[in-house]
Structure 1
Amino acid sequence: MTGSVAEAVGATLAALGAEHVFGVVGSGNFHVTNALVKHGVKFVACRHEGGAATAADAYARISGRPGIVTVHQGPGLTNAMTGITEAAKSRTPMLVLAAEATAPRSNFRIDQGALAHAVGASSVRVHEAADVARAWHLAVSERRTVLVNLPLDIQAMPAGEMVTPSFPPVPRSVSESSIVELNAVLDQAERPVFIAGRGALGARAELSALAERCGALLATSAAAKGLFTGDPWNLDVSGGFATPLAASLIRAADVVVAWGASLNMWTTRHGGLVDRSATVVQVDLDPSAFGAHHRVDLSIAGDVAETAAAVTVAEKQGYRSDPVRLELSTSGRWRDVAYEDEGDGSHIDARTATIAVDDILPSERVVAVDSGNFMGYPSMFLSVPDHRGFSFTQAFQSIGLGLASAIGAAFAMPDRLPVAACGDGGFLMGISELDTVRRLGLGMLILVYNDDAYGAEVHHFGPGGHPLSTVVFPSTDIAAIARGHGCAAATVRRREDLASVEQWVAGPRDVPMVVDLKVAGQRPSWWLEEAFRGH
């Protein structure tokens, strides 16, 4: 093709199926970004590279398509590193298009490849357009975040003839002997539980069919929340966010099968959620996942859907008894669990606020949750229609990603109401992207659980008598800040203060709405309290 390598890179990605690219444009990535736009890829301009990377990550999680972010050389890349790290640790298929300064004395020059590898991402340096196709294949076939280094001098070179290489399919089939072993385990199981993670997304039909045959109850990791929505045997999330009923049923399981789930400390409550006598099976494409966080009795390397479809266990009742069905129908949701409201007139109980918002929102929603002391409330009390309705960026446990995550989710599911759930610390840390939300006209609801503190630190260190002045802040009028950005806003101290939120949801939603939830903060969240105790 005629034109430069930069133009060929844009054309190649468009031909491979790129639809959206998130980024901040500087001189080094100007031509590549324009080439993407020229060939039909929608560019989403963010205010900070960290937000752009996080939005691309969330877009990939929700849409099932590779995420793409474009950044300037040097500081553009370093600004994006937290979002890139979260994506890499989450095994998100994502391409980071980063200009690269190679001149020895350039103030932009850093070892970009080493930076990528330090956080678990892969790295490819582009010499021709075909290198971008290789990076795409690596991201998609191995679920990797790939830094695509675009040297400035090479970008400007003539592209020559563009040839997109072909790649052999990645082996995904499971061995026959593994299927025989899994059949035997499930055949003997009396109380089997399936826990599905991100590696199981797209395999609902196969897992549900197998669970029905062998009588298994269904649960997910937090990252795969919504996968089994609507199934009467759905326990929802396993781990710290599990309801008391779900936790008791998982503890009583005699067989636990992890499907594309790592069984980390959050999903298993530091291992305490899985009985020591239970047989644990782990199915994953990545052999390095086996036993990384929890003991495993049977490891099966293979695709989740193909493995589940190959199992031929005979039909039986298993764990699906009438008493269990009744319990799930009456006590299966967090909102069914009684609690003492801790609101005091000036502050609203986070549970009360979230249940009320859940009732206000339409069922077709996509929820992005930031990290922090508050994070369990939206994760547990907001329902989602399916696994494309929930983005949970917690692999790196960085606060400040929630707002940008909601932007990526909004573009992945444009027909749904996007909801960002943030703590006050995380919201203010990532507030640059509030301008992006407003500028792009996204009708987004932004919930800020505001306790005027870094709550996890308050509740972790406070009981030990440590001074808390470094993690407690004066009251911030977040609603006023939001109005300054051109958003609708509400300050909520009591249930009735949510009336304006209900009016906004009714439409037309032509501007975003920020809800400053003044939440009662006298108690630690039980899921983090449990995590800090290490059991």
Structure 2
Amino acid sequence: MKASDLIVRCLENEGVQYVFGLPGEEILDILDSLADSRIRFVLARHEQGAAFMADAYGRLTGRAGVCLSTLGPGATNLATGVADANLDHAPLVAITGQASRDRVHKESHQYIDIVEHLRPLTKWNTRVETGAVIPEIIRKAFKLAESEKPGACHVEVPEDVAEESADGAALSAERTRRPSPDHRALETAARLIEAASFPLIFAGNGVIRGQASDALRALARGHGIPVVHTFMAKGSMPYDDDLCLLTAGLQARDYVSYGFEKADLIVAVGYDPVEYAPKFWNPERKKPIVHIDFTPAEVDSYYQPAVEVVADVREALELLNGLVKGQKDPTPFFGLRRLILEQLEESATDDGFPLKPQRILHDLRAMMGREDVLVSDVGTHKLWVARTFPAYEPNTVLISNGFAAMGFSLPAAIAAKLVHPDRKVVAVSGDGGFLMNVQELETARRLGLAVVCVVFHDDAYNLTQWKQQTRFGRASGATFSNPDFVELAHAFGAKGYHVTAARDLRPMLAEALAAAGPSIIDAPVDYRENARLTAPPPDCLVLDVHLGAVSGFDVHAQLVASGTPVPTIFITGHDDTATRERARRAGAVAYLSKPFDDQALVSAIRKALDHSSSGEGRES
């Protein structure tokens, strides 16, 4: 048989369902061999799109997605998606063609050394020098791509090797057994959890990859331990579980971070610092940490575990659940959860236009089932998705948050629809990232895939613009104009919608989600809301004792319960002894009875700020 036939047989043996790619002269033999295979070749419109499809397939299935390109510009186009899979730890095998061996030693048409080009972007890569080694190379590429931590591997096939005769058979493709945990390490972890008053689980993407969400939930619920998760671990703990403190990773002084401040033990499970560096949640390097992951902890002065449980994450959690004795009282964290939820729900039903990001995602969530899939691109909208879009099950929100490559969402959504044809799939993009791989809309239409693209439209690279404004007080080089997205959709044979009022969004979503093919929903967005994402709690609060249906004392109590006490001034129009006493018990820095003059309020605020900076309250 030809070497290209042997390559395809080895891919079949690995259980490959799809090869995503583009044709090219140096891979004609491989394409011809694929034509006789049960493997489906999915023609993409750009190699980067093909790599993102393989990347998302790997995330969703745990098996390496495969992408294929020709030499030179085909391989360089592939590189961004390969790097994304590698840094986000998604299993991927990239196969590239190459010039024949008789011209790789000299300057030659379209030739570059692809192995060297992709070396820093992959776990492992090599060139096939002879057909006899194909079974070993393909098996090794898949084994390494799928082993923890998973990532990208690359195989380069010169065109003269692909067309030569090759004898051989595929090697056994049994999955690598993951290690069982060391019992002494588990015992140490259990004793640390038992000794802690306020342990907190920090779940990372390794929980999703290790199919350990059920075990994580059992440990948390069985012992009353709250859970915070990273962007890529959304769904590991359901949004509607009282123990879920939602998503960490926006900034060090984010509301969620106060869960870390209150905790006296962090149980880091499948945590990957590529998403959220430990210096942000352990700035004083004093938090005791239990590390549970497939691999040893990264060396980091802010992350020095008291014990490392290096093992299969699911098995480790199941065993740990049986070793930990007793039940924690998670209620001190419930005030923080209420505070976060109240913040998230602000503007969720706002009828203003352009649309608030919260409103777009609130309506999207209402139109999607718990197991439907949302894929986020990279930009400001990604922060809103991570923070405000509820996730209930693992792998129902896909976010590139390691390499964080723009242009990810549409190709990834195509792969998600191939993996889950019975689920609704929505790609959320900014207008910048969407146009980076908009050509894949033709791929979705050709394949008959009902992928809904919701475009947050603001005519800018807003995340960059926002950071420029924050640092320099001005922005430059970040604005542009856009095509008519409705006409663009029609040009691709897709449906197109333009939102002109908040009330339009749900009917448009309903129609798009029911369509047989792809669609674009152009959603003008008001990013003035961004300050809500990163504004920390205030250095002092002025609370009216009587806030309509809500008491200022209740608001203060929630902050105290959350572990984030803020120096507080209480004001009242109904002064009496009981109210004064309640304010005293609440630890009021000042108490003012209406009417009072401006100078009295200014003096009280100065006193509160002095109280804050003295260390008695929150540090200013």
- TM-score normalised by length of structure 1: 0.89
Alignment check: 8 A CA contact 1:21 1:69 kept: yes
1:225 aligns with 234
Residues 458, 246 of structure 1: CA spacing in aligned structure 2 closer, same or farther, 3 A cutoff? Answer: closer
Match in the other structure for 2:163: 156
SS for the counterpart of 2:528 is coil
Q: Secondary structure at the match of 1:289?
A: coil
Q: Which amino acid aligns with 1:185?
A: L
Q: Per the alignment, do residues 332 and 340 of structure 1 end up closer, same or farther by CA in structure 2, a change over 3 Å counting?
A: closer
Are 1:260 and 2:270 matched, yes or no?
yes
Q: How does 1:12-161 map to 2 (within 5 A)?
A: 12-101=10-99, 102=101, 103-104=103-104, 105-126=107-128, 127=130, 128-130=133-135, 131-142=137-148, 143-161=150-168
1:235 and 2:245 are equivalent in the alignment: yes
Question: Aligned-pair distance for 1:471?
Answer: 1.2
> Which amino acid letter does the alignment assign opposite residue 320 of structure 1?
P
Match status 1:501 vs 2:503: no
Q: 1:248 to 1:152 in 2, by over 3 A?
A: same
C-alpha distance in 1, partners of 2:200/2:317? 14
RMSD of aligned residue pairs (Cα, Å): 2.9
1:186 match: 193
Inter-CA distance 314–499: structure 2 relative to 1 (3 Å threshold): closer
Cα pair 1:438 1:486 within 8 Å, conserved: yes
Using the TM superposition, give the Cα deviation of residue 251 of structure 1 relative to its aligned residue in structure 2, in angstroms. 2.7
Asked if 1 retains the 8 angstrom alpha-carbon contact of 2:252 and 2:281, the reply is no
Aligned match of 1:394 = 401
Distance in 1, matches of 2:348 and 2:319, equals 48
Query: What SS does structure 2 have at the residue aligned with 1:95?
Result: strand
Partner of 2:204: 197
| 1:382 CA drift (Å) | 2.8
Question: How many Å separate the matches in 1 of 2:201 and 2:454?
Answer: 32
Q: Is the 8 A contact 2:293 2:309 kept in 1?
A: yes
Relative to 1, partners in 2 of residues 1:343 and 1:506: Cα closer, same or farther, differing over 3 Å?
closer
Give the secondary structure class of the aligned counterpart of 1:89: helix
1:337 aligns with 2:345: yes
Task: Specify the code of the residue in structure 2 equivalent to 1:50.
Answer: Q
Tell me whether 126-135 or 282-291 shows the greater mean CA deviation.
282-291
Structure 2: how far apart are the matches of 1:319 and 1:36? 58
Query: Which structure 2 residues correspond to residues 181-330 of structure 1 after superposition, within 5 A?
Result: 181-201=188-208, 202-229=211-238, 231-240=241-250, 246-264=256-274, 266=276, 270-272=279-281, 277-287=286-296, 289-291=298-300, 294-311=303-320, 312-321=322-331, 324=333, 328=337
The 3-state SS of whatever aligns with 1:261 is coil
State the match for 2:373 in structure 1: 366
- Equivalent AA in structure 2 for residue 139 of structure 1: A
The answer as to whether partners of 1:354 and 1:378 remain within 8 angstroms in 2 is yes
Shift of residue 411 of structure 1?
Answer: 1.5
What displacement does 1:439 show?
1.7
Distance 2:342 2:93 in 1: 37
Cα distance 1:291–1:213, how it changes in 2: closer, same or farther (>3 A)?
farther
Classify 1:361/1:176 alpha carbon distance in 2 versus 1 (closer, same or farther; 3 Å): closer
Distance verdict in 2 for CA 1:158–1:529, change over 3 Å:
farther
| Cα offset, 1:376, TM superposition | 1.9
Q: Which residue of 2 aligns with 1:533?
A: none
Determine the C-alpha separation between the residues in 2 that align with 1:151 and 1:472.
43
Bigger shift: residues 113-122 or 284-293: 284-293
In structure 2, the CA distance between the partners of 1:282 and 1:403, relative to structure 1 (3 Å rule), is same
Is the partner of 2:323 in helix, strand or coil?
coil
Q: 1:489 to 1:525 in 2, by over 3 A?
A: farther
Deviates more, 1:93-102 or 1:460-469: 460-469
How far apart in 1 are the matches of 2:497 and 2:81? 29
d(CA) in 2 for partners of 1:49 and 1:16? 22
CA-CA distance at 1:451 after TM superposition = 0.9
2:26 & 2:62 partners in 1: Cα distance?
A: 29
Q: Structure 2 vs 1, CA of residues 37 and 177 (structure 1 numbering), >3 Å: closer, same or farther? A: farther
Partners of 1:463 and 1:332 in 2: CA distance: 24
Q: Which shows bigger deviation, 134-143 or 210-219? A: 210-219
* 8 Å contact kept, 1:366–1:384: no
The alpha-carbon distance between structure 1 residues 286 and 364, as it changes in their structure 2 partners (threshold 3 A), is closer
Q: How many residues align?
A: 523
Once residues 476 and 248 of structure 2 are traced to their aligned partners in structure 1, the CA distance between those partners, rounded to angstroms, is 35
Letter in 2 for 1:504: E
Cα pair distance change 1:341/1:167, threshold 3 Å: closer
Question: Residue 215 of structure 1 contacts residue 316 of structure 1 at CA under 8 Å; is this kept in 2?
Answer: no
Name the larger-Rg structure: 2
**In structure 2, what residue type is equivalent to 1:33?**
L
Paired with 1:51 and 1:17, the residues of 2 have a C-alpha distance of: 22
Pair 1:512 & 2:518 matched: yes
Residues 382, 399 of structure 2: 8 Å contact kept: no
| Rounded Cα–Cα distance in structure 2 between residues aligned with 1:266 and 1:412 | 29
Deviation sequence 1:194-236 (CA, Å, 0-9, x none):
1222212201222222223432112321112112225442223
Separation in structure 2 between the aligned mates of residue 22 and residue 98 of structure 1, nearest angstrom: 12
Q: Which amino acid in 2 is paired with 1:423?
A: G
**Are the equivalent residues in 2 in contact too, given 1:384–1:390 (CA < 8 A)?**
yes
Q: How does 1:520-531 map to 2 (within 5 A)?
A: 520-522=526-528, 524=530
